[in-house]
Amino acid sequence: MTQPYHIVILGGGSAGWMTAAALAKVLDQKHYKLTLVESSAIGTVSVGEATIPGIREFNQLLQIDEDEFLRETQGSFKLGIAFENWQNIGDAYMHPFGPYGVTLNGVPFHHYYLRHEREQGQGAAMPLHELNLEWSMANGNKFSRPIADKRSPLGHIKYAYHFDAHAYARYLKKYATQRGVVALEDRMLEAKQAQKHGALQALILEQHGELQADFFIDCSGFKALLIGEALGVEYHDWRKWMPCDSAVALPGQHDADTILPYTRSIAHHEGWRWKIPLQHRTGEGWVYSSRFTDSDKAEREFRETIGNFDSKANHLRWMNGRRDEAWKHNVCAIGLSAGFIEPLESTGLQLTQSGIMRLISLLPGAGSMTERAHAFNRYTAEEITNIRDFVMCHYKLTARDDSAFWRYCRDMAIPDSLQERLELYRENASIFRNSNNELFNEISWFSMFHGQGLTPKNVHPLAEQMPAANLQQHLKTIQGIFKQSVAQLPSHAAFIRKHCQA
């Protein structure tokens, strides 16, 4: 390349500024030029953000100081997601980020626990939460970063964050512009192309005129102004499997002294609601399906549930699904423009992050990019499809019969990819990832299967070989170590006050 390769990002928000920050970190300014175009007149979707542990890897790539980042974004720590009322009203379980027990003889721990539960009976079996460090910490409202001694369970704590998504975007904007990203406050009028649905040549902006570039990244959200409107890439609608396509967001009651180190997902009669605890507020959202209720009814019931009758509500709409191609010609979609899975398992920023890292791995440049685009699209489709099946399964495994919404979810036909997982687990508790590209591991799948009452007929044959007394003692040892470890930890609120208070 005889001159810097120009990459233009259309859209700010979390996706745009995460993309800009990452590229600014890894690309040499002598060989690459980065420009981001955003319009303050176009709102962003995020009202608060719950994440999963992969976000820590992204921040580490940027070499961000964690305490500073949490202060700037009013953030808190997250050890997992608590699910309430999902199988039946009154039921509760957690999807923790860390493992259960320890693997024995190459056999995942959950096989041994299921055997223990079968032999003891569910009422007498050791509680599952006492065999998971992160779940035990969450129950005690405790938190600590991993300690230096890796021989201790406390040396392997898995966690993520809650933070204000708008503040995160502002934080990354400052980071990116300090590293050479040019930020333009403007609105796109047109995408210039030599032919319809062909490669892009430039963006025509309202204030800055024609902005030429070699490569364009579409972070324009659900509008998908480049990948959708300009290039005409079709969108696969998955709402028949995940009918929740709307939400109302409001501030909830907040207590700075009892900030929970986990997200709450509480099922209601026509969907579910989130509770995301930040340092300065608790964000709440009422998720529902527009097929089964309308926005006025949803807002009214939400206000009555949380007792907020004064704050202005923020209404959100989306379509669960994905683009047929996330990278076409010289345009790559990152974030909502590429696809979206409802916020139940906090995968929004994870999909953005993985798209960014995939783009860096297959970095665009001079010459043909056909094979790189094919690889990007293949892995992107695999990733979001696997996430789709995981999120969909929460609805399919319900036993609720209290509304047309839950009856639809319980009885809906599911794709073969999910049906195979369910049958494999039912047969002997086996859980396999379809590929190394799959986000959720056996910890995640077991948490959901067990939490929502899916009982296997058998367990792994090797798990049957351990003498019952030895198994009981093994579980008691793990239980005791975790209990002792958690007892010495500070409360979540105390840890924040000491290290990262805003």
> Which pLDDT tens digit goes with each residue over 97-147?
999 998 888 899 999 999 999 999 878 899 999 999 999 999 999 999 999
DSSP codes of every residue in 71-97: HHTT-EEE-EEEEESSSSTT-EEEEES
pLDDT bucket at 154, cuts 50 / 70 / 90: very high
Per-residue model confidence as pLDDT tens digits over 166-205: 999 999 999 999 999 999 999 999 999 999 999 999 999 9
Is 15 annotated as a binding-site member?
Answer: yes
Kindly give the residue spans of alpha helices, DSSP state H, lying in 144-290. Answer: 165-178
Stretch 245-257: mean pLDDT, rounded? 92
pLDDT at 224 exceeding the cut of 70: yes
Is 12 annotated as a binding-site member?
Answer: yes
Structure-block tokens of residue 433:
């990832």
What is the pLDDT at residue 231? 97
Q: What is the helix (H) or strand (E) element at residue 381, kind and residue range?
A: helix 370-396
| Interacting residues of 169 by C-beta distance below 8 A, sequence separation 6+ | 12, 13, 14, 16, 17, 44, 46
pLDDT bucket at 46, cuts 50 / 70 / 90: low
Is 16 annotated as a binding-site member?
Answer: no
pLDDT at 256 exceeding the cut of 90: no
The one catalytic residue among 33, 78, 142, 275:
78
| CATH code given to domain 5-76+163-236+321-386 | 3.50.50.60
What is the pLDDT at residue 366? 83
Is 493 annotated as a binding-site member?
Answer: no
Looking at the chain, the whole-number percentage of residues with pLDDT higher than 70 is 98
What is the pLDDT at residue 380? 97
Distance CA 210, CA 478 (A): 64
Long-range contact list for 137-141, CB < 8 A, 24+ apart? 137/79, 137/261, 137/486, 137/489, 138/79, 138/80, 138/82, 138/94, 138/96, 138/260, 138/261, 138/262, 140/486, 140/489, 141/258, 141/260, 141/261, 141/491, 141/492, 141/493
Mean pLDDT (the chain, rounded): 95
pLDDT at 471 exceeding the cut of 90: yes
What is the pLDDT at residue 100? 97
pLDDT at 48 exceeding the cut of 90: no
What is the pLDDT at residue 195? 92
Is 336 annotated as a binding-site member?
Answer: yes
Computed on alpha carbons and rounded to an integer, the radius of gyration of the chain in Å comes to: 23
What is the pLDDT at residue 95? 98
Stretch 335-339: mean pLDDT, rounded? 96
Which residue in 26, 99, 97, 36 sits closest to 58, CA to CA?
26
What is the pLDDT at residue 45? 56
Stretch 327-338: mean pLDDT, rounded? 97
Structure-block tokens of residue 219:
């972070």
Active site residue 78: yes
| Weakest-pLDDT range from 102-106, 168-172, 239-243, 293-297 | 102-106
Stretch 379-389: mean pLDDT, rounded? 96
Structure-block tokens of residue 257:
């002294």
Stretch 356-360: mean pLDDT, rounded? 97
pLDDT at 310 exceeding the cut of 70: yes
What is the pLDDT at residue 487? 97
DSSP codes of every residue in 415-480: -HHHHHHHHHHHHH-----S-TT-S--HHHHHHHHHHTT---S---GGGGSS-HHHHHHHHHHHHH
Per-residue model confidence as pLDDT tens digits over 411-433: 999 999 999 999 999 999 999 88
Stretch 210-229: mean pLDDT, rounded? 97
Q: Provide the 8-state DSSP code for 101.
A: S
| Weakest-pLDDT range from 8-17, 38-47, 150-159, 398-407 | 38-47
pLDDT bucket at 367, cuts 50 / 70 / 90: confident
Query: Exposed, middle or buried by CB within 10 Å (0-12, 13-18, 19+), for 187?
Result: middle
More confident residue, 122 or 452: 452
pLDDT at 392 exceeding the cut of 70: yes
Per-domain boundaries in the chain: 5-76+163-236+321-386, 93-157+391-493, 246-317
CA dihedral of 133, 134, 138, 143, whole degrees rounded to 10: 90
pLDDT at 31 exceeding the cut of 90: yes
pLDDT bucket at 435, cuts 50 / 70 / 90: confident
Q: What is the helix (H) or strand (E) element at residue 375, kind and residue range?
A: helix 370-396
More confident residue, 482 or 367: 482
DSSP codes of every residue in 291-325: TT--HHHHHHHHHHHHT--SSPPEEEE---EEES-
* Residues paired with 93 in a beta bridge: 83
pLDDT bucket at 289, cuts 50 / 70 / 90: very high
Query: Exposed, middle or buried by CB within 10 Å (0-12, 13-18, 19+), for 357?
Result: middle
Could you tell me if 228 and 11 are in contact, meaning their C-beta atoms sit under 8 angstroms apart?
no
pLDDT at 1 exceeding the cut of 90: no
pLDDT bucket at 334, cuts 50 / 70 / 90: very high
